[in-house]
Amino acid sequence: MSPTHAPPELTPQRLGRIRTLLLRWYDEHEQHFPWRGARDPYLALVAAVCAQQTQMSRVLEIYARWTEAFPTLEACAAASRAEVLRVWGRAGYPRRAVHLHETSRICVEEHGGALPRDQEALLALPGIGPFTMAIVSSFGFGDDAAAVDTNIIRVIGRVVCGDLQPATETPRATIDALADQLMRPGTAARWNPTLMDYGGRVCTPRPHCDECVVSHLCAARPRFAAGEVAEPVRAQGAFAGSDRDWRGRLMQELRDRDDGHGGSNSGGGGGSTVSSLLGTVASTRAERARARRLLNTLVSEGLAWVEGERCGLGAAPR
């Protein structure tokens, strides 16, 4: 069987069976994460942002640290840029901390101290794309919005379209349309985690078809049964020595040197010198030029500041 890129037919009967069987599976295997039942848009936002490009085991750790430091949107908005970056710590992709901070501030200034319920207004906030918006809408407000992450793409691509996945075969726009179609109105808060967890535990990159409750309805099952295998996702390049590695080391050094008063809200703190910072990661002239270029990218992303020969974490002290 070869996959087709035409929108696959999903008869009402097949659609109904897939929904029923997967929701029944979720009833028995539900994972209790603190943000799923909280009906708190801020907690849902934090969880979704923590989950971007991050394994679930690490998400819990980052989420716990963040919500302990900033339990509410107001608390996050009141913190300095340096504080949120210190709390984010070594969790990676620190732009996410900046986005949470900026979004919290905008909500305090423009939305009465709360995340807006309107989905277009959510999408206009920093760092909120369709997936994060769907998590905030469904977990936070109980509204309908189909979340589409890599697990969900895999499940829908296989069950409905006959893809092997993780290598994508069906165009993303088709998957998005199917995600909307599959979700029964009024059930997003349960349907989204159902698909996420099913993709994380049963329909994994190497699928457990023998344990699958929808195997008889799955368009990819015959391909796997015939011995076809999913193409692995292309491995990322080596981390050590990469720009990401160096940026992480610069950020770590900036956090270590921060005196806790270097944020834009505090008005205190003077940071350290650029040359001593660069010297911690670079020894040759070429390395220093590279470190300086990367420091400039941190500044342009709001993660660090440079004024003359001085630099620091977050935004420059006023």
Residues that bind ligand SF4 (CB under 6 A): 158-159, 202-203, 207-209, 212, 214-215, 218, 220-221, 224
Residue identified by tokens 């165009």 is: 171
Starting at the edge strand that comes first in sequence, how are the strands of the sheet with 304-307 ordered?
272-273, 310-313, 304-307
Minimum CB distance to ligand SF4 smaller for 216 or for 318: 216
- Distance in Å, CB of 180 to ligand SF4, minimum: 19
Q: How far is the CB of 166 from ligand SF4 (least distance, A)?
A: 12
CA distance 147 to 182: 11
Alpha helices by DSSP H, listed for the chain, are 12-29, 41-51, 56-69, 73-78, 81-88, 95-110, 119-123, 130-135, 150-159, 172-182, 188-201, 221-225, 243-257, 274-281, 285-300
We find the least distance from the C-beta atom of residue 222 to ligand SF4, in angstroms, to be 9
For ligand SF4, the closer of residues 82 and 159 by Cβ is 159
Are 253 and 90 spatial neighbours (Cβ–Cβ below 8 Å)? no
Q: If you search the block for the tokens 């997967």, which residue do you land on?
A: 22
Minimum Å gap between C-beta 147 and ligand SF4 is: 18
CB nearer ligand SF4, residue 103 or residue 151: 151
What minimum distance in Å lies between the beta carbon of 221 and ligand SF4? Answer: 4
**Beta carbon of residue 224, minimum distance to ligand SF4 (angstroms, whole number):** 6
Give the nearer residue to ligand SF4 in terms of CB position, either 189 or 202.
Answer: 202
Q: 266 near 314, Cβ under 8 Å?
A: no
Q: How far apart are CA 106 and CA 179, in angstroms?
A: 30
Cβ proximity to ligand SF4: between 172 and 208 the closer is 208
Q: Tell me whether residue 231 or residue 245 sits nearer to ligand SF4 (CB atom).
A: 231
Beta bridge partners of 307: 310
How deeply is 74 buried, as exposed, middle or buried, from its count of CB atoms within 10 A (0-12, 13-18, 19+)?
A: middle
Residue 55: CB atoms within 10 Å: 8
Four-point Cα dihedral 180, 182, 185, 191, nearest 10? -100
When the beta carbons of 22 and 98 are compared against ligand SF4, the nearer one is: 22
Closest approach, Cβ 139 to ligand SF4, in A, equals 24
Beta bridge partners of 310: 273, 307
